[in-house]
Chains A and B, each alone.
Chain A
Amino acid sequence: MLSGMKEVAELLNAMRDAGVIREYALFGAIAQMRYTEPVATLDAEVLVAAPSPQTLELLKPIYEFCAARGHGPEGEAIRVGAWPVQFVPVFSPLTQEALEEAETADFEGIPLRVVRADHLAVIALSVGRAKDFARILGLLESSSMSREQVARLAARHGLADAWTRFETRFLND
Chain B
Amino acid sequence: MTETRKLLERQGAWQKGRAALTWPEKIHMAEAVREWAAQLSRARSPMTAAVSASRRPGIGEVTTREAKKDN
Chain A interface (Cβ < 8 Å from any Cβ of B): 3-5, 29-30, 33-42, 82-83, 105, 107-108, 142
Contact = CB atoms under 8 A, between A and B. Distances in A.
Interface of B: 15-16, 18-19, 21, 23-24, 26-31, 33-35, 37
Contacts of A36: 19
10 contacts: A3-B28, A37-B16, A37-B18, A38-B29, A38-B30, A40-B33, A41-B30, A82-B31, A107-B27, A108-B24
Given A3-B31, A38-B29, A105 B23 contact: yes
B16 A4 contact: no
Q: Which secondary structure dominates chain A's binding surface?
A: loop
Given A36-B19, A37-B15, A37-B19, A82 B35 contact: yes
Given A33-B27, A33-B30, A34-B23, 19 more contacts: A3-B28, A5-B24, A5-B27, A29-B30, A30-B27, A33-B26, A35-B19, A36-B19, A37-B15, A37-B19, A37-B26, A38-B27, A40-B34, A42-B34, A82-B34, A83-B31, A83-B34, A105-B23, A107-B27
Contacts, number: 50
